[in-house]
Amino acid sequence: MRERYQGRYELRARIGRGGMGDVWRAFDHELHREVCIKRLAIELSTRSIREFREEARLLARLRHANVVSLLDVTEDERGAPALVLELIEGADLRTLCLRSSPGAHRGFLPDRVAVHCACAILSALAAVQRAVPGLVHRDVTPHNVLVSKEGEVKLVDFGIALVSGRERLSAPLTVRGKLGYMAPEQARGEALDPRADLFAVGVVLYELLTKKRPWGARSGMSELRQIERGVMTPINRVRVIKRDLVAPLEMLLAHDREKRFISAEAALRALAPFGSGDLEMLRLADISRTMEYKIPLHLAKAARDEADGQREGHGTKSKSLMATAVERRLRRA
What's the CATH number where 130 sits? 1.10.510.10
The pLDDT score that the predictor gives to residue 27 is: 95
The pLDDT score that the predictor gives to residue 44 is: 64
Looking at the structure, tell me whether residues 227 and 306 fall in a common domain: no
The pLDDT score that the predictor gives to residue 329 is: 40
The pLDDT score that the predictor gives to residue 176 is: 61
- Which of 85, 112, 135 is the C-terminal boundary of a domain? 85
Looking at the structure, tell me whether residues 50 and 128 fall in a common domain: no
**SS3 letters for the chain?**
CCCEECCCEEEEEEEEECCCEEEEEEEECCCCEEEEEEEECCCCCHHHHHHHHHHHHHHHCCCCCCECCEEEEEECCCCCEEEEECCCCEEEHHHHHHCCCCCCCCCCCCHHHHHHHHHHHHHHHHHHHHHCCCEECCCCCHHHEEEECCCCEEECCCCCCEECCCCCCCCCCCCCCCHHHCCHHHHCCCCCCCHHHHHHHHHHHHHHHHCCCCCCCCCHHHHHHHHHHCCCCCHHHHCCCCHHHHHHHHHHCCCCHHHCCCCHHHHHHHHHHHCCCHHHHHHHHHHHHCCCCCCCHHHHHHHHHHHHHHHHHHCCCHHHHHHHHHHHHHHHC
Average pLDDT of the chain?
80
Looking at the structure, tell me whether residues 54 and 145 fall in a common domain: no
pTM of full prediction above 0.85: no
d(CA 117, CA 111): 10
Sequence-separated (6 or more) residues with CB below 8 Å from residue 256: none
Looking at the structure, tell me whether residues 79 and 94 fall in a common domain: no
Looking at the structure, tell me whether residues 101 and 81 fall in a common domain: no
Looking at the structure, tell me whether residues 54 and 198 fall in a common domain: no
Q: CATH number, domain at 49?
A: 3.30.200.20
Instruction: Count other Cβ atoms within 10 Å, centred on residue 7.
Output: 8
Q: Per-residue pLDDT tens for 230-276?
A: 889 999 999 889 999 999 999 999 999 999 999 999 999 999 999 86
- Which of 85, 109, 140 is the C-terminal boundary of a domain? 85
Looking at the structure, tell me whether residues 30 and 108 fall in a common domain: no
Looking at the structure, tell me whether residues 94 and 115 fall in a common domain: yes
Counting the structural domains of the chain, the total is 3
The pLDDT score that the predictor gives to residue 315 is: 35
Whether 83 and 70 have beta carbons less than 8 Å apart is answered as yes
Looking at the structure, tell me whether residues 252 and 149 fall in a common domain: yes
Domain limits for position 169: 90-289
Looking at the structure, tell me whether residues 196 and 279 fall in a common domain: yes
Q: Per-residue pLDDT tens for 284-306?
A: 888 877 664 344 444 444 444 54
Looking at the structure, tell me whether residues 195 and 283 fall in a common domain: yes
- Which of 85, 105, 137 is the C-terminal boundary of a domain? 85
Task: Give me the active site residues, please.
Answer: 139
The pLDDT score that the predictor gives to residue 177 is: 62
The pLDDT score that the predictor gives to residue 296 is: 42
Looking at the structure, tell me whether residues 115 and 201 fall in a common domain: yes
d(CA 229, CA 325): 34
Low-confidence ranges of the chain (pLDDT < 70): 1-2, 19, 42-44, 99-107, 164-177, 217-219, 276, 290-333
The pLDDT score that the predictor gives to residue 75 is: 83
